[in-house]
């Protein structure tokens, strides 16, 4: 069974930072586009950032300049560094691995930005 495991979520004050991690022992990240999505209450799941096999990165307009996605292929880990967090960033964040025929999802980790 494919497993993606996120960690690093929590409660942070506006303007603060968090670093999310995603790891898998089953999925070779060199063969997938890895991404972070988020879903806020009452809203659809949306792309936050992703990074292709070759390193091409896409960011949502709402996070560009504040968030950074990176990966360590040797360790099969992807990261999302989130800086200058805003209350509207509050959501469940999901790790994804998109291949040719399907997308795999982690269980999600909750990020709450509040004073």
What is the reported pLDDT for 25?
Answer: 76
- 26 pLDDT higher than 80: no
Alpha carbon separation from 33 to 17, 45, 58, 111 (Å, rounded) = 25, 17, 11, 23
What is the reported pLDDT for 1?
Answer: 52
- 2 pLDDT higher than 70: no
Of 23, 24, 16, 22, which Cα lies nearest the Cα of 37?
Answer: 22
Of 96, 97, 100, 101, which Cα lies nearest the Cα of 109?
Answer: 96
Mean pLDDT of 10-27: 93
Mean pLDDT of 92-101: 92
What is the reported pLDDT for 101?
Answer: 84
What is the reported pLDDT for 24?
Answer: 86
Strands (E), the chain: 5-7, 10-12, 18-23, 33-39, 46-51, 57-59, 67-72, 77-82, 91-98, 103-105, 109-113
- 60 pLDDT higher than 60: yes
Mean pLDDT of 43-54: 96
Q: How confident is the model at residue 33 (pLDDT cuts 50, 70, 90)?
A: very high
Q: How confident is the model at residue 65 (pLDDT cuts 50, 70, 90)?
A: very high
- 16 pLDDT higher than 60: yes
Burial class (CB in 10 A: 0-12, 13-18, 19+), 102: exposed
């Amino acid at each position: 069974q494919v497993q993606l495991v996120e960690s690093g979520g929590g409660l942070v004050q506006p303007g603060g930072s968090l670093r999310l991690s995603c790891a898998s022992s089953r999925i070779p990240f060199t063969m997938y586009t890895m991404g972070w999505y988020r879903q806020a209450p009452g809203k659809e799941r949306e792309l936050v950032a992703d990074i292709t096999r070759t390193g091409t990165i896409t960011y949502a307009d709402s996070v560009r300049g504040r968030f950074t996605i990176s990966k360590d292929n040797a360790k099969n880990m992807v990261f999302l560094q989130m800086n200058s967090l805003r209350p509207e960033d509050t959501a469940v964040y999901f790790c994804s691995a998109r291949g040719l025929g399907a997308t795999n999802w982690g269980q999600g980790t909750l990020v709450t930005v509040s004073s």
